[in-house]
Amino acid sequence: MTKAQESPINDGTPTLADQVIASDTDAGEAQVSGSALRMILRTFLENKLAIIGLTLVVAMAIFCFIGPLLYHTNQVNTSYNINLPPGPGHPLGTDENGRDVLGRLMVGGQSSLEIGLAVAIIATVFGVLWGAISGFFGGVVDTIMMRIVDTFLSIPSLFLLIFLAAVFKPNLPLLIIILSFISWLSPSRLVRGESLSLRTREYVKAVRIMGGGARRIILRHIIPNTVGTIVVNATFQIADAIAILATLSYLGLGLPPPAASWGEMLSNGVNYIYDGYWWLIFPAGLAIVVTVIAFNFIGDALRDSLEVRLQKR
């Protein structure tokens, strides 16, 4: 066979058969992905706690963001109607400054949910990239990157939060950065463990043989195959951020007045615990507990749905 005859075969141009096979493969992968997604959704919806958690989260979001549009209150300090018990005009009473507790509960929930969601997104994105890079390259790169993570983990989180909040004047963007700073460590370790396993898979080796670079492998193959771990961890990150924010606010290191948060309301209410002003304590405390539990329900349900061994076949 002459060179002219064999060149069409070896020039790297895909033949019609190759294109058909690739098309069939893509269609098959899309069908498998759609089937897997339907199975995950069905398993999630069959979980009663998941439905409860999702309902509570949606209800809380409506309460916090749509409620103030329908229930108008004066959240500026007033010198009258101080510490009124629940009654007509004030369903949950008023606080020590005469502000309507129900209206403040709505406004305080906005900052709590916004910070929780923002922290979950930032910490998850940064932690996933850090862990995927560390696990994929391994060796010296993995050692250095994981020692940095271990160093931050060795510092007590509460001490670090108090220190940063005391040094800098707290505000919404700063609190998001501070909470994200301590929250990315967990997803980085989880994804790193997944990456150490995924980098030895056959399809990753195939991409390397075909000349695929590290960036393509990490973004197109490593991270997408850890999506289950990522999504589940993100839901827990939201709950953790809300709980930590409440702790900081309770210690007086949260959003400065007149900004409201559930932790700040709880902190102020504790000062009147022996005076019988229960409406200054229980509404904010109940909102924190319900929201954190709701996100934990969703996280547990997602973990069960995404875990292949627990899926119903």
Minimum mean pLDDT among 104-108, 142-146, 164-168: which range? Answer: 164-168
Contact 223, 190 (CB under 8 A): no
Q: Give the mean model confidence (pLDDT) for residues 202-216.
A: 77
**Average of per-residue pLDDT across 64-74:** 88
Mean pLDDT to the nearest integer, 27-53: 69
Instruction: Read off the pLDDT of residues 215-262 as tens digits, 9 standing for 90 and up.
Output: 888 888 788 888 778 888 888 888 888 888 888 877 777 777 777 888
Q: What is the mean pLDDT of residues 36-44?
A: 75
- Does the pLDDT of residue 2 top 50, yes or no? no
276-303: average pLDDT = 87
Phi, psi torsion values for 35, nearest 5 degrees:
-65, -40
Please tell me the predicted confidence (pLDDT) of residue 156: 81
The mean pLDDT value for 62-67 works out to 92
Query: What average pLDDT does range 103-115 have in this prediction?
Result: 89
pTM (predicted TM-score)? 0.76
pLDDT tens digit string along 291-302? 989 988 888 888
**What whole-number percentage of the chain has pLDDT above 70?**
85
Res. 79 pLDDT band, cuts 50 70 90:
low
Domain residue spans of the chain? 97-313
pLDDT at 21: 35
Q: How confident is the model at residue 23 (pLDDT cuts 50, 70, 90)?
A: very low
Residue 1 pLDDT grade (very low, low, confident, very high; cuts 50, 70, 90):
very low
The answer to whether residue 19 scores a pLDDT higher than 50 is no
Of 221, 192, 191, which is closest to residue 207 (Cα–Cα)? 221
Superfamily of domain 97-313: MetI-like (1.10.3720.10)
Higher pLDDT, 52 or 4: 52
> Can you tell me which residue has the tokens 């220190």?
163
Specify the pLDDT at position 7.
Answer: 40
Residue 264, pLDDT > 80, answer yes
For the segment 106-124, the average pLDDT, to the nearest whole number, is 90
